[in-house]
Structure formats: C-alpha cells, structure tokens
Amino acid sequence: MKCIICKSEDVVKKKVEEEIKKGKDVVFVPVETLVCQNCGEKYYDRRTVRFLEEIEEKVKKEKVTLEAVGRVLKVVGIH
Ligand SMILES: [Zn+2]
C-alpha cells in the first residue's frame, strides 16, 4: 500500500508499542501494524483498533498483567 501522508510505497508491517494512558501512568501495548518507513505514519486495521480498545477497557478494569519497564519523568527545573 501507499502512504497517504508522504506517498511513499515503503509501508511495512512492524511491531510497535502503542501508548495507553491510565490515570497519570502510561501503558505500552505491543501490536503489529503497518508503518510507513519514510515518515513513520502508522496504519491500524479495524482488528487492531478493536484490540486496542479492548485492551484499554481491560487496563481500566485492571484485568491485565502489567510490569514496570521504566519511569516516566518530567522536567521541572533546568540547571
Ligand atoms: Zn509516509
């Protein structure tokens, strides 16, 4: 397929991590989706979109197993 944004034909299936917000936390969800190698635009098919919605619901209800993989930090001062 062709990228809608940059018209590149270099669109390949890749494993990416989609971000879901859980209050102040960020949950990464590994999914396989089409990604434009040129501009980075991601294309989700309906199945993936539904899967992400399902996961988001499960995350809200805490029906998933989560593992801490790092901390989310914020810049509050510069020195
Ligand atoms: Zn593109």
Please identify every residue whose CB atom is under 5 Å from ligand 1, which is an ion: 3, 5-6, 8, 36, 38-39, 41
Domains for the chain: give ranges and CATH numbers: 1-79 (3.10.20.860)
Q: pLDDT, tens digit, for every residue of 11-56? A: 999 999 999 998 888 999 999 999 999 999 999 999 999 999 999 9
Ligand 1: centre distance to CA 19 (Å) = 20
Ligand 1: centre distance to CA 1 (Å) = 11
Contacts of residue 11, Cβ cutoff 8 Å, sequence gap at least 6: 1, 2, 3, 34, 35, 36, 37, 43
Q: pLDDT, tens digit, for every residue of 50-77? A: 999 999 999 999 999 999 998 889 999 9
Ligand 1: centre distance to CA 46 (Å) = 20
- The number of residues making up the chain comes to 79
7 versus 22: which is more confidently predicted? 7
pLDDT over 90 (residue 3)? yes
The confidence score (pLDDT) of residue 58 equals 96
The confidence score (pLDDT) of residue 72 equals 85
